[in-house]
Amino acid sequence: PIDHRWRCTHRVKVWRTLFSGNLCVQHFTWSLSAHSRAYSGNGPRAQPLYKSKSGYYEVLEVLPTATQSQIKTAYYKQSFTFHPDRNPGSEDATTRFSEISEAYTVLGNKGLRKKYDRGLLSLSDLTATPPRSSSSKDPTAGSTKQHRAQSVVGSHARGGVFDFDTFFKSHYGEQLQRQRDLKAQREEMEKRKEEELREKNMEKLMDVGVALLLVMACALVFTLK
């Protein structure tokens, strides 16, 4: 009976070890694949974005069936979130912002998008930076007229095809200013609340002090009588 019990216990331990090991391997494999999907190109990507099947869509977080309007909206949102001015000192944000600019350069242009969807997009297509189709309005057209087009592949966040600083300030300057104003208002309200709380506490202490003085005065009068 003891030997049989030992064998059962040993089998349970072996199965637990194998099962936990299998889970660890599965978790590691999933984490590795998720990480490899998260970055490429400027970071630890296995291949450049323009060679991927859906990398540009993943960067902008849109489906391959997204309309040009949806792509533009996603670009506004992503560029605002990862702009270096909102993430000072963050290398991840700088890399992400560069990828976003590259993704919109391709997907925001109908001709380049078609070539990308067909797997025909090349590095020369990006460095040539052909003009956008007339039906697809460039939200940064005004600023790009003032700057020469540059390659977006491997470019830094402040480089690239567009003047992103001008774009960022023109589209989000007012929003950032409103956020700063709201923050200042909240801080001012908190200071006022703290001051009011201190004043109330002082009033309570004074009331208690006056009450104690009255009690002491009454006690003194009573003892004198």
Tokens 């630890």: give the residue: 44
Specify whether 103 is located in the same domain as 19: no
8 with 87, same domain? no
Residue range 189-204, pLDDT digits in tens: 888 889 888 888 888 8
- The DSSP code sequence of 10-54 is HHHHHHHHHHHHHHHHHHHHHHHHHHHHH--TTSS-SS-GGGSSS
In a domain, 108, yes or no: yes
Structural domains in the chain (count): 2
Q: How confident is the model at residue 71 (pLDDT cuts 50, 70, 90)?
A: very high
- 18 & 84 share domain: no
Q: Residue 153: which CATH number?
A: 1.10.287.110
* pLDDT tens digits for range 120-149: 988 888 887 544 443 444 444 444 433 333
**Is a pLDDT exceeding 70 seen at residue 21?**
no
Residue 42 to residue 44: CA distance in whole angstroms: 7
Q: Is 53 found in the same domain as 34? A: no
Q: Which stretches does DSSP call E strand in the chain?
A: none
Is residue 197 one of the residues assigned to a domain?
no
For residue 183, the one-letter residue type is K
- Looking at residue 7, its pLDDT comes to 56
**Domain contains 2:** yes
Provide the mean pLDDT of the chain: 71
Percentage of residues in the chain with pLDDT exceeding 70? 58
Asked if residue 29 and residue 118 are part of one domain, the reply reads no
pTM beyond 0.75: the answer is no
Neighbours of 77 (CB within 10 A): 13
Digit-coded pLDDT (tens) for 93-128:
889 999 999 999 999 999 999 999 999 988 888 887
Cα dihedral 49→102→150→43 (10° resolution): -60
- Dig out the tokens for 100 from the structure: 């976003």
With tokens 């490429």, the residue in question is 40
Same domain, 154 and 80: yes
**Whether residues 61 and 152 fall in one domain:** yes
184 vs 136, residue with greater confidence: 184
Q: Which domain holds residue 107?
A: 49-175
- For residues 80-100, average pLDDT: 88
